[in-house]
């Protein structure tokens, strides 16, 4: 992962770095955990199907956060979900806050790269 001190100063590029950090954490902590029980499946169709199911689920969550779906509550209201990243130093002091979704740089755009191990 790119060290925080090396993130670009320019706002767009900085949000891209923030999104890649999220993607790396998502795949490290969520995807790997979801696939942990499938480690006994050493390749083959069953392992591939498990990976496809996990990836499809994670991608659908990215779509939800990116605002792809119309999340109706009733005829007059809808819900929007936001993903906020807070960067804190080792003392817990808030250094920066980034909205990654829905007003970020598009989590769905980064997903395939993350799946291939490209986190920036």
pLDDT in tens, 14-56: 999 999 999 999 999 999 999 987 776 666 788 888 899 999 9
What is the domain count for the chain? 1
With a cut of 70, say whether residue 4 has pLDDT above it: yes
Flag whether 84 is in a domain: yes
pLDDT at 36: 87
Flag whether 38 is in a domain: yes
Q: Are 85 and 98 in contact (CB under 8 A)?
A: yes
Flag whether 120 is in a domain: no
Percentage of residues in the chain with pLDDT exceeding 90? Answer: 81
Task: Determine the Cα–Cα distance for residues 99 and 29; give it in Å rounded to an integer.
Answer: 20
Flag whether 68 is in a domain: yes
91: cis peptide before it, omega within 30°? no
Task: Determine the Cα–Cα distance for residues 45 and 52; give it in Å rounded to an integer.
Answer: 10
pLDDT single digits (tens) 89-104: 999 999 999 999 998 8
Flag whether 106 is in a domain: yes
pLDDT at 66: 96
Arithmetic mean of pLDDT over the chain? 93
pLDDT at 53: 94
pLDDT at 44: 72
pLDDT at 39: 73
Flag whether 56 is in a domain: yes
Flag whether 39 is in a domain: yes
pTM: 0.89
Relative to beta strand 77-79, strand 83-88 is unpaired
Flag whether 98 is in a domain: yes
Structural domain for 37, as ranges: 4-115
């Amino acid at each position: 992962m790119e060290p925080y001190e090396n993130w670009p100063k320019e706002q767009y590029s900085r949000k891209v770095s923030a999104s890649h950090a999220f993607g790396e954490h998502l795949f490290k902590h969520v995807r790997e955990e979801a696939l942990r029980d499938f480690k006994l499946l050493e390749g083959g169709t069953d392992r591939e199907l498990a990976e496809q199911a996990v990836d499809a689920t994670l991608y659908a969550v990215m779509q939800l956060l990116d605002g792809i779906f119309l999340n109706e509550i009733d005829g007059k209201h809808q819900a929007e979900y936001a993903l906020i990243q807070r960067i804190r130093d080792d003392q817990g002091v808030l250094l920066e806050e980034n909205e990654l979704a829905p007003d970020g740089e598009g989590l769905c755009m980064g997903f395939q790269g993350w799946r291939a191990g490209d986190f920036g």
